[in-house]
Amino acid sequence: MSIEARSITKSFGTFTALRAVNLEVKEGELVALLGPSGSGKTTLLRIVAGLEFADAGNVLFDGEDATERSARDRRVGFVFQHYALFRHMNVFENVAFGLRVRPRRERPSTREIRERVHELLRLVQLDGMSERLPSQLSGGQRQRVALARALAVRPRVLLLDEPFGALDSRVRKDLRRWLRQLHDELHITSVFVTHDQEEALELADRVVVMNQGRIEQVGTPEQVYHEPATRFVYEFLGDVNIFHERAEDSRHGGIYVRPHAVEITRRPIGDGAVSARVQRVHVAGPTVKVELVTEFGDLVQAEISQEQQRRLALTREDAVYVRPNESRVFSEDYSI
Amino acid sequence: MTSASAGRDWTLADVPPPPRTASAVADPPWVRGLLIGVALLFLGLFLLLPLVTVFGQAFSKGIGVYLDAITDPMALAAMRLTLLVAAISVPVNAVFGVAAAWAIAKFEFRGKSLLITAIDLPFAVSPVVSGLIFVLLFGAQGLLGPWLTLHGVKIIFAIPGIVIATTFITFPFVAHELIPLMQEQGTEEEEAAVSLGASGFQIFRRVTLPNISLGLLYGIVLLNARAMGEFGAVSVVSGHIRGQTNTMPLHVEILYNEYQGAAAFAVASLLALLAVVTLVVKRVLEWRMGRASRAL
- What does the buried/exposed string (b/e) look like for A193-212 if buried means 16 or more CB atoms within 10 Å of the residue's CB? bbbbbebbbebbbbbbbbbb
* Residue A326 backbone class (left: φ over 0; alpha: ψ -120 to 50; beta: rest): left
Q: Distance between CA A216 and CA B197 in Å, rounded?
A: 34
Count of Cβ atoms closer than 10 Å to residue B182 Cβ: 22
CA distances from A32 to A24, A181, A190, A206, B168 (A): 12, 16, 9, 6, 54
Is B62-294 in CATH node 3.30.465.10? Answer: no
Do A315 and A215 reside in the same domain of the chain?
no
Q: Distance between CA B44 and CA B31 in Å, rounded?
A: 20
For the stretch A248-259, pLDDT in tens is: 555 466 788 888
Nearest chain A CA: its distance from B271 CA (Å): 36
Short-list B221, B125, B231, B216, CA closest to B176: B216
For the stretch A86-144, pLDDT in tens is: 999 999 999 999 999 999 998 999 999 999 999 999 988 898 899 999 999 998 899 99
Residues of chain B with pLDDT under 70: 1-24, 292-296
pLDDT of residue B6: 46
User: Which amino acid appears at position B208 of this protein?
Assistant: T
Q: Distance between CA A10 and CA A85 in Å, rounded?
A: 28
Alpha helices in chain A (DSSP H): 41-49, 91-100, 110-123, 139-152, 169-186, 197-203, 221-226, 231-236, 306-312
pLDDT of residue B113: 87
- Number of independent structural domains in chain A: 2
Q: Distance between CA A24 and CA A3 in Å, rounded?
A: 6
For the stretch A217-228, pLDDT in tens is: 999 999 999 888
Do A245 and A231 reside in the same domain of the chain?
no
Query: Does residue A5 surpass a pLDDT of 50?
Result: yes
Range of the domain at A296: 241-329
Question: Are residues A101 and B196, on separate chains, in Cβ contact within 8 Å?
Answer: yes
Last residue of a domain, one of A208, A236, A264: A236
User: Is the CB of A138 inside 8 Å of chain B's CB atoms?
Assistant: no
Short-list A49, A71, A38, CA closest to A5: A49
Count of Cβ atoms closer than 10 Å to residue A274 Cβ: 21
Do A219 and A93 reside in the same domain of the chain?
yes
* Mean pLDDT, rounded, of chain A: 89
ipTM score assigned to the predicted complex? 0.82
Query: Does residue A36 surpass a pLDDT of 60?
Result: yes
Nearest chain A CA: its distance from B222 CA (Å): 24
CATH of the domain at A288: 2.40.50.140
Last residue of a domain, one of A236, A253, A283: A236
Question: Number of Cβ pairs closer than 8 Å across A and B?
Answer: 68
Q: What is the pTM of this model?
A: 0.77
Question: Out of A70, A88, A97, whose CB is closest to B196?
Answer: A97
Q: Distance between CA B144 and CA A264 in Å, rounded?
A: 92
Residue-by-residue DSSP string for B91-104: HHHHHHHHHHHHHH
Residues 6+ away with beta carbon under 8 Å from A121: A91, A92, A95, A127, A129, A130, A148
Q: Is residue A334 part of a domain?
A: no
Of chain A, the percentage scoring pLDDT greater than 70 comes to 96
Q: Is residue A335 part of a domain?
A: no
Do A225 and A132 reside in the same domain of the chain?
yes
Question: Are residues A84 and B207, on separate chains, in Cβ contact within 8 Å?
Answer: no
Do A217 and A248 reside in the same domain of the chain?
no
Mutation choice for A interface testing from B195, B201, B291, B293 by most A CBs within 10 A: B195
